[in-house]
Amino acid sequence: MNSIGTLNEGPLHASLKEHYAEPGDRLEVPLEGRRIDLVRGELLIEIQTQGVSSIRRKLAQLAASREVRLVLPIAVRTWIVRHGPSGEVLGRRRSPKRRGLAHAFAELVSVPRLFREPGFSCEVLLTDQEEVRRHEPGRARRRKGWVIVERRLLEVGQRWLIETPADLLAILPEGLPRPFTSGDLARELGVPRWLAQKVAYTLREAGALETHGRGRAGWRYSAA
């Protein structure tokens, strides 16, 4: 395996690339004016820690003629480390926020129709991460001057590989009524309705769900 290149990437991206790479993979491969994180035979692999919308065009262009996989990490548990202005560690605590597979759709909602492309796949990684914050008064007013300077990978847990639109249906809970609304989905998944709406929209645009009209509770969906 080639050595892991950094190319000004953050520690989270670098660690994910190292974790995901297999013997024989090529790393940071230039291709048609782009740089690909990992190349595994004919498969092009792009790791995106956030902001999938920023590489939507790149993914679409690649998937039109090649096999491409988006690797998307979701922080299920996060530990927050606070550093003082001179770098000293002031404390470490676990964030009360927990996330799951459904939170991947906050990003996947940017690329729903890519799942219709035969060459496109996505692997969601549920991870534990560490978030490093530094105190810089005058910045990040919402966090009282605490600025996020980097994220670090602690552990990779469950992995979910999505290769066809039908694979997306695995996100739907067993107890969901048929047809269902985004409100039903939010309740069964235990997530806010805005997130359930993103799940439903992504599955619909990917071709995994069909609609059955709109009632007072919103659109009604069932598996296509």
More confident residue, 4 or 30: 30
- Give the pLDDT score at 141: 61
Cα angle 217-105-68, degrees, rounded to a multiple of 5: 140
4 pLDDT higher than 70: no
CB crowding 60-79: b at 16 or more within 10 Å, else e: eebbeeebbbbbbbbbbbbb
Q: DSSP readout, 108-166?
A: HTTSGGGGGSTTEEEEEEEEEEEEEEEE-TTS-GGGTTEEEEEEEEEEEEEEEEE-SGG
3 pLDDT higher than 50: no
Calpha distance 106→108 (Å, rounded)? 6
- SS3 percent helix, strand, coil of the chain, rounded to 5, is 30, 40, 30
CATH domain 166-224 topology: Arc Repressor Mutant, subunit A (1.10.10)
Q: Centre a 10 Å sphere on the Cβ of residue 161 and count the other Cβ atoms it contains.
A: 11
Q: What digits encode the pLDDT tens for the residues 153-169?
A: 999 999 999 999 999 99
CA distances to 10, 16, 48, 119, 205 from 150, in Å? 7, 14, 15, 32, 34
- Give the pLDDT score at 140: 57
Q: What digits encode the pLDDT tens for the residues 60-93?
A: 999 999 999 999 999 999 999 998 877 788 899 9
- Give the pLDDT score at 144: 72
115 pLDDT higher than 80: yes
- Give the pLDDT score at 32: 85
What does the domain layout of the chain look like in residue ranges?
1-163, 166-224
